[in-house]
Amino acid sequence: MSLPALTAELAVASRCTLGEGPQWHAATGRLYWCDILARRLHWLAPSTGATGQHSLDHRVSLAAPLTSGELLLVGEDRLSRFAPHNGRVETLLDFEADNPVTRSNDGRVDRHGSLWLSSMGKAAEPGAGSLYRLHRGELTRLRTGLTIPNAICFSPDGEFAWFTDTVTGVVMRWALDREGWPLGKPTHWADVSATSGHPDGAVVDAEGYLWLALWGAGQVVRLDHDGHIVAKIELPVSQPSCPVFAGKNLERLYITTAREGLDQASLAAQPLAGALFVADVGVTGLAEPVLRLT
């Protein structure tokens, strides 16, 4: 049986080297995403089409909205508070600052207003990455020995977390307690290693289904509650990195992409690589809590 095939269209021709970490900031009506390697923070106001960017002095992979209206920047060696209206940056915590091999990678706020975030080797060194939880300003390491930790997201009721180590091709599911802390060991939930791509970033919709970017395959797939692929979005570029729902009613799915590692022939064949794309997928997103630091 063929899967429902959806298409994505260009939203912003941002030409990111490594577009990542899209986050919807409901209070300001802006979607933020990062170009990790170019050290830029991009934004889009979907209601008006206005766009902009901020230059940064270090590699940042995520800009999570705070209750103050500012953003928490998850960077290669630090976590910082950022004020978009004036560009002021205040360092809050070190993040693997003593490890020059690693940088930050994926992240998402859980159902309790805490941030799960990950690190990885700058050259994807095997086993160099870790998974953390920032809960009320305190950073706790949850898991080590990962290579490219990705696809961090959470079930609507907060009962489970998902993540992947991209190189394995397997999405893991982890039971959580009432405070959002992991219980026992994570279990295999979905194996996408037979596809032509590799699991990257993910987000959960209002029906509790997971939308997963397949790096290298030019697709974002929708997985049901049992981890089966039930729909897919085809993109005109090969390296989608992470999806997110955005807009006043979380009615559209936006997808970051990358140009990193593509040779001249590949770039000529996919000139929109690194752009932000958008798709109408027939379902709305799941509103995510704002990050709480205290």
- Binding positions are 20, 103, 105, 150, 200
Spatial separation of the C-alpha atoms in residues 106 and 157, rounded to whole Å: 21
Residue 157 annotated in active site: no
Binding residues for substrate: 103, 105
Contact 41, 21 (CB under 8 A): no
Hey, what are 131's tokens?
């998974």
Contact 230, 263 (CB under 8 A): no
Instruction: State the CB neighbour count (10 A cutoff) for residue 94.
Output: 11
Question: Cα torsion at 172, 180, 79, 81 (round to 10°)?
Answer: 130
Hey, what are 168's tokens?
């394995």
Catalytic: which of 35, 77, 106, 200?
200
Collapsing DSSP to helix, strand or coil, 115 comes out as strand
Contact 122, 165 (CB under 8 A): no
Contact 217, 238 (CB under 8 A): yes
Closest CA to 73 of 109, 34, 111: 34
Burial class (CB in 10 A: 0-12, 13-18, 19+), 159: middle
Hey, what are 151's tokens?
């696809």
- Please list, residue by residue across 174-210, b when 16 or more beta carbons sit within 10 angstroms of its beta carbon and e when fewer do: bebeeebbbeeebeebbebeebebbbbbbbbbeeebb
Catalytic residues: 200
